[in-house]
Homo-oligomer: A and B are copies of this chain.
Amino acid sequence: MQYFSQTDINAMEQRYRAAFINSLGGFKSFVMVGTADADGATNLAPFSSLFHIGANPPLCGLIVRPDDGAERHTLSNIEKTGFYTINHVKADFYRKAHQTSARYPKNVSEFEATGLTPHYIDGFHAPFVAESNVKFALEMREKHPLSINGTIFIIGEIKHIIVPEDVIQPDGFVDIEKAGTVTCSGLDSYHTTNRLARLTYAKTDSFPKEIALK
């Protein structure tokens, strides 16, 4: 095992430290955020900072870096319209999803640039990704600039959900492995998954059992 002190961390070259520290966060949700500006021009950007905040109301958080090209267009569209979609990524298009992080100019849609397909539902301004299996639409509820490093913490409430019918388990668990969702680690590593097990609610007087999947 190798040990790194705060002095060692501070001494790391900037890009080396970015790759190193980002890896420590563990496996992450890898999703594409779909938005449109007031004129309906679409934007798509990959995010690995999605996290669950609560189920009632249904809330998700996102950390956005305002100085990044792809994320800046996303942030601007969310701020102006209030709406965005979150789309899980499958193995058959993860390279296209990664490619949407390139610094395309504002007048170029990442949908067209990468060959992904916008999909709309009635009454919702932001586009989904048609190729995505698990996707949901949010309305921004709160925006917190984090003065500690200049990033922005956004809280959204889930308004619409689209998932494959056959991955929903009787207890509400959505089997995203069966749906083909991939995960990522660090800045650029993509992975499929193999389930070890679902485990029953932990109690102090017994060890958890496996939950069978249908």
Contact = CB atoms under 8 A, between A and B. Distances in A.
B193 A149 contact: no
A57 B19 CA distance: 13
Interface residues of A, number: 112
- Total identical chains: 2
A162 B27 contact: no
Interface stretch (A2-10, A36-44, A75-83): A2-10
A163 interface: yes
A185 interface: yes
Q: Taking each of A21, A59, A160, A208, which has the highest tally of chain B beta carbons within 10 Å of its own beta carbon?
A: A21
Interface in A60-104: 60-61, 63, 86, 88, 91, 94-95, 98-104
A53 B146 contact: yes
A14 B56 contact: yes
Contacts of A214: none
Contact of A188 (B5, B21, B200, B207): B200
Nearest to A91: B196
A212 interface: no
Contacts of A120: none
Given A168-B2, A176-B23, A186-B174, A18 B55 contact: yes
Given A21-B158, A173-B186, 6 more contacts: A15-B171, A17-B58, A23-B175, A28-B51, A99-B208, A194-B194
A6 B159 contact: yes
A54 B174 contact: no
B190 A197 contact: yes
Given A165-B2, A189-B198, A191-B195, A31 B21 contact: no
Contacts of A1: 162-165
